[in-house]
Amino acid sequence: MTPYLGEFFGTFLLMLMGGCVNANLDLARTKGSGAGWILMSWGWGLSVFLGVYTAIELGGSGHLNPAISIGFAAFGQLDGSLLAGYIAAQMAGAFCGAVGTWAAFRLHFEATDDPDRKLGVFSTSPAIRHSFSNFLTELIGTFVLAFGALAASAPTSSLGALDALPVALLVAGIGMGLGGPTGYAINPARDLGPRIAHFVLPISGKRDSDWSYAWIPVAGPIVGALLGAGIYSLL
């Protein structure tokens, strides 16, 4: 397969499984309703493992993240000619994964009265809304992701089929720490693709898609990934 299909299917699985983690925790009358932040962080970490492993097996890079692809391309870690295709595949995969989440939990969306919880299945939102602070949190989280992913990608020995594991653990750790202020998008595709899905899907009782906040989980991760890849390259 082409690297673009690898990125598409990897990001599709990332968002399908990660979105279902959110839905299972936040929507009404699910078996996992209210299970808590630790389960959410580990669930997203395992979703990253599945997505990265799948993308690599199908010929992609396993970035699953336009910010990481941009940061890596800027500092020679990705062929720049692949960048536009990677971003398009990642966005499309995230959108389709979010649609799959809605299909799997359609009855629970209908049973949930709170429109904020419905939006939260798809996209992130801050605990305390403050544009600069929220931007800074997303920047720092993605800096850690980019720097840590580059460090993990150059081990002294290969982990074989578990090569995706360090990034999965890294994402789980970021969630348990830096995830509190903004819900840690740390990935423009993870937030924007599902936010668009929320906007277009016929979800009963939904609210607006909070477009005034949508730039933060796009711009913050891009700047953070550029800084993380840049500083790693300097070191």
Give, in order, the Cα–Cα distances in Å from 74 to each of 79, 166, 184. Answer: 9, 23, 23
pLDDT reported for residue 156? 47
The whole-angstrom separation of Cα 146 and Cα 144 is: 6
Domain 3-234 is of which CATH architecture?
Up-down Bundle (1.20)
pLDDT at 34: 87
Q: Say what the pLDDT of residue 163 is.
A: 73
Output the pLDDT for position 162: 61
Domain layout of the chain by residue ranges: 3-234
What is the predicted pLDDT for the residue at 160? 52
> Could you say which DSSP state residue 156 is in?
S
Among 45, 50, 43, smallest CA distance to 21 is for 43
Q: What is this structure's pTM?
A: 0.96
Q: What are the residue ranges in the chain where pLDDT is below 70?
A: 1, 154-162
In 105-130, which residue ranges form alpha helices assigned H by DSSP?
Answer: 106-111, 115-122
Longest dimension (CA), the chain: 52
Q: What's the confidence (pLDDT) of residue 24?
A: 97
Q: Residue 154: what pLDDT?
A: 65
Nearest residue to 43 (alpha-carbon basis) of 121, 134, 145: 121
The confidence score (pLDDT) of residue 164 equals 85
Tens digit of each residue's pLDDT (9 = 90 or more) over 148-198: 999 887 654 455 556 789 999 999 999 999 999 999 999 999 999 999 999
Q: Enumerate long-range contacts of 164-167, CB under 8 Å, 24 or more apart.
A: 164/48, 164/49, 164/52, 164/53, 164/56, 164/62, 165/49, 167/48, 167/49, 167/52, 167/62
Q: What is the pLDDT of residue 103?
A: 98
Structure tokens of 10? Answer: 């990897």
Angstrom distance (rounded) from CA 174 to CA 196:
25
Residue 134's pLDDT is what? 98
Q: Tell me, what's the pLDDT at 152?
A: 83
Exposure letters 8-38 (e unless 16+ CB within 10 A, then b): bbbbbbbbbbbbbbbbbbbbeebebeeeeee
